Amino acid sequence: MSISVFKNPNSQYSPSLSNFLYTLPRWNGFKFTGRMSKSLSWVKRKSIVCYSTDGVSSLDKNNSSLSENLDLTKEIENESDVLIECKDVHKAFGVKQILKGVSFKIRHGEAVGIIGTSGTGKSTVLKIIAGLLTPDKGEVFVHGKKRVGLVSDEEFLGVRVGLLFQSGALFDSLSVRENVGFLLYENSRTTDEQIAKLVAENLASVGLRGVEECLPSELSGGMKKRVALARSIIYDNTTNAVQPEVLLYDEPTAGLDPIASTVVEDLIRSVHLKPDDTNKKQGKIASYVVVTHQHSTIRRAVDRLLFLHEGRIIWEGMTHEFTSSTNPIVRQFASGSLDGPIIY
């Protein structure tokens, strides 16, 4: 499989194209040759940015005290189940050094949350894992294979990585049905009727019914988010291919009411393929990573947490350890207190 990255002279990509990028790593032979090619011909004329103009990194040497809080005792010897590894990842935007040596591993079967204050670089980490951004320094490994550059799939043979964008990033000119079924229309032999049925089922699973023929502009922000989630989990159940797949969710419940949040959190759980149910067809996501600020999402949708602060992972632990952590930064964040080392 190969993936094209189209250069954009304005160094911007539209939300729709962001989504286009999301879809790329997940499907073989992605080309606009299928049933949707006509309506999407405009996509070809546009282009996708590669964030390649970042400034030179400068390491912040003043954070050694924070790093001391890392629990390094949880290293597990078996490396064969590591799907994603970030090793000493650095990233700057212009003169702003965002990531200053981020290292962690995501293992097969894990449900991991990345938390931390606003603007600390959580989405940046997801984009680096997904191959939409390249680190200035450090390495990302997908199933033990080093990611070489921007989205380019040959080197990830055997693992698909998908990213659900914070914005939802729907195709504005397509109906909800076409958005959710997009990849199936383009890439599978499933009939239109079967796709329409799958779309309706997946929309129902995120609590949406009867919106198939709406345009995204007719939906509320929360509805758009759920449509995007339905699109990220739909798959061709007429094939038996089982590949480990990693889904990256960027704030999937931000802006949703508490009940819609619960629906989404439970759905994220339900598509997760745990190592002990590999024979089951439902739940094909091997591992997932959720960036979130929502306490309910932390509680319901993830098992392990990574705390990103000032460019590094300063704490990691199980979800139940989060609120009882003695790390002053984590404690302040968990309680939402104004008093503590985090200054706003």
Ligand X SMILES: Nc1ncnc2c1ncn2[C@@H]1O[C@H](COP(=O)(O)OP(=O)(O)OP(=O)(O)O)[C@@H](O)[C@H]1O
Binding mask 5-44 toward ligand X (x if CB under 6 A, else -) reads: ----------------------------------------
The least CB distance from residue 313 to ligand X, in Å, is: 13
Residue type, 102: V
Alpha-carbon gap, residue 112 to 196, rounded angstroms: 32
Number of shown-chain residues binding ligand X (CB under 6 A): 11
Instruction: Decide whether 245 or 251 has the Cβ nearer to ligand X.
Output: 251
Cβ proximity of 135 and 90 under 8 Å: yes
Binding mask 64-93 toward ligand X (x if CB under 6 A, else -) reads: -----------------------------x
What is the DSSP pairing of strand 304-309 with strand 111-115?
parallel
The least CB distance from residue 62 to ligand X, in Å, is: 19
The least CB distance from residue 122 to ligand X, in Å, is: 4
The least CB distance from residue 43 to ligand X, in Å, is: 21
Neighbours of 118 (CB within 10 A): 7
User: SS3 of 39, please?
Assistant: coil
Site for ligand X in 186-215 (CB under 6 A): none
Instruction: Decide whether 35 or 46 has the Cβ nearer to ligand X.
Output: 46
The least CB distance from residue 117 to ligand X, in Å, is: 7
Cα–Cα distances in angstroms (integers) from residue 31 to residues 36, 157, 159, in the given order: 10, 19, 20
Instruction: Decide whether 106 or 200 has the Cβ nearer to ligand X.
Output: 106
Instruction: Decide whether 119 or 340 has the Cβ nearer to ligand X.
Output: 119
The least CB distance from residue 49 to ligand X, in Å, is: 8
Cβ proximity of 273 and 281 under 8 Å: no
Alpha-carbon gap, residue 307 to 329, rounded angstroms: 9
Out of 1, 14, 51, 299, point to the residue binding ligand X (CB under 6 A): 51
Instruction: Decide whether 98 or 302 has the Cβ nearer to ligand X.
Output: 98
Alpha-carbon gap, residue 314 to 329, rounded angstroms: 9
- DSSP of 218-267: GS-HHHHHHHHHHHHH---TTS-----EEEEEESTTTT--HHHHHHHHHH
Neighbours of 55 (CB within 10 A): 12
Phi/psi of residue 87, each to 5°?
-120, 110
Instruction: Decide whether 92 or 234 has the Cβ nearer to ligand X.
Output: 92
The least CB distance from residue 19 to ligand X, in Å, is: 17
The least CB distance from residue 50 to ligand X, in Å, is: 11
Q: Does 97 bind ligand X (CB under 6 A)?
A: no
Site for ligand X in 99-158 (CB under 6 A): 116, 118-124
Alpha-carbon gap, residue 60 to 47, rounded angstroms: 35
The pair of structure tokens assigned to 315 is 């704490």
Alpha-carbon gap, residue 97 to 82, rounded angstroms: 28
Instruction: Decide whether 86 or 184 has the Cβ nearer to ligand X.
Output: 86
Instruction: Decide whether 287 or 294 has the Cβ nearer to ligand X.
Output: 294
CA dihedral 48, 180, 192, 236 (to 10 degrees): 90
Instruction: Decide whether 119 or 275 has the Cβ nearer to ligand X.
Output: 119
The least CB distance from residue 129 to ligand X, in Å, is: 12
User: SS3 of 9, please?
Assistant: coil
Residues that bind ligand X (CB under 6 A): 51, 93, 98, 116, 118-124
